[in-house]
Structure 1
Amino acid sequence: MIEKEGFAALALRLRGQGINDLDLLTAVEQTPRTLFVPPQFAGEAYSRRVLPLDCGSFIEGIDLAVRLLHLLNLKAGQRILEVGTGSGFTAAVMGRLTERVLTVDRYRTLVTNAQQSIEKAGIRNVIVRQADGSNGMPGEGTFDRILVTAAFPALPRFFAEQLVSGGMLIAPVMVSETECRMLKLVKTGSRFDREDLFDVPYLPIVPQMAQAL
């Protein structure tokens, strides 16, 4: 019941924000959010609340997660890179909409948990990897979309180099010591168009893979 009622309430809230993309909403509905939140927070799975995960990480409220996915304008056939797997929920939804998703996180525990949740959701085209995403993913080729969920001190240009022409990067940047803003970068040939979006609760990125956890 949590899933059905939670999704119905979410769909109403999203409609109020002008988000009524049927493919995206169907992908969200088919990806049970309770698989991705810690069991004790199952009742909050569809809330706007930020919920804690292992390793000091967190899962953003579902409204923000879907808003970011909506901004990415995901389509069949696209290759996606996500930096900051967290629970694996956004990677799972993106997997339903696109050809292939590579998602990376520095914590082994989060990678393992996300992998299990994505498998339980029946999604097979998402690769979850423990990696240091703080300097881009050299050797992985180019992507149509890149979603970053850990804040950089400035716009991470090295990711922009991994975008195809027409590709889009959405990443949070620390605009002051306490303020973090989501930015969008669209690549056209060798030119980049930047747009400031809205403030978000993400944490500053930490380089290198975690030794423990």
Structure 2
Amino acid sequence: MNAPLDDREGFAAFLLRLRGRGIVPKDLITAFEATPRQMFIPGQWHDIAWSERMIPIECGETIEGADLQAAVIAALAIEPGSRILEIGTGSGYSAAVMARLAARVVTVDRYRTLTEQARQRFEALGITNAFARQAEGSNGLSGEGPFDRIVVWASFDSLPRAFVDQLSSGGIMIAPIGPDEGEQVMAKLTKLGSRFEREDIGVVRFQPIANSVAAAI
């Protein structure tokens, strides 16, 4: 079944922006193209699915703009054998894309509604190596590491040192670091021994990471 014209045009514009920024890994572009973005976004926002805008989803949360998701996933340098931990499932879109590049993706969110919807979307797309669960992820998933890649879609006020032990040697973590209010820096943290080597890859605005699960939703 062919994608709607507005979706194809939106994807084409998205690709042009990525190429303009030098983000052109073929496997990454193939993974985005194979993952129908409109399936992860409420209907009233379908016409801007491939835009740079953050889009509202259930539980008062948002899905990041397509460009930011692509930049972060590219910076993760995912390999076919990579085991990935994602904190902040949201709609499940980034986990679905990463699952096409990696061996296994575990994605957690504090909202049960979001993880259940993500599971349903993975199943509908035949994605069998992405696993969504409700959990409090401010300190990762200490019982399940090590992971080769960790990505967090919520901000820390300082370097998240608790995650060092959950990364494999040479592993990469990407997370926003900065004050709760205002801008943060998206930092790429590479594990070297027992420390992180830090590279800043952009300025973002995210909500601070929560240290509890949602009781009702």
TM-score strictly above 0.5:
yes
SS in 2 for 1:171: strand
Q: Deviations over 1:72-97 (max 9, x none)?
A: 01110110000000110110000000
Code of the residue aligned with 2:192 in structure 1: it is T
Q: Deviations over 1:93-129 (max 9, x none)?
A: 0000000000000001111111112222221100000
SS in 2 for 1:199: strand
Contact 1:170 1:185 survives alignment (8 Å): yes
What is residue 98 of structure 1 aligned with on the other side?
102
Contact 2:56 2:63 survives alignment (8 Å): yes
Q: Deviations over 1:129-178 (max 9, x none)?
A: 00000122111020000000011111211112100111001011124631
Hey, what's the Cα distance between the residues in 2 that align with 1:72 and 1:25? 14
Counterpart check, 1:167 vs 2:176? no
Contact 1:47 1:62 survives alignment (8 Å): yes
For 1:110, which of 102, 111, 114 is the aligned residue? 114
Q: Which runs of 5+ in 1 are unaligned?
A: none
Q: Which runs of 5+ in 2 are unaligned?
A: none
What is the TM-score of this pair, normalised by structure 1? 0.96
Contact 1:91 1:101 survives alignment (8 Å): yes
How many residues of Structure 1 are paired with residues of Structure 2 in the alignment?
213
For 1:146, which of 150, 154, 157 is the aligned residue? 150
SS in 1 for 2:31: helix
Q: Where in structure 1 do 4 or more consecutive aligned residues deviate above 4 Å?
A: none
What is residue 93 of structure 2 aligned with on the other side?
89
Distance apart, 1:191 and its partner CA = 3.5
Superposition CA RMSD, Å: 1.2
1:176–1:133 Cα change, 3 Å: closer
Hey, what's the Cα distance between the residues in 2 that align with 1:176 and 1:201? 9
Matched-pair identity in %: 54
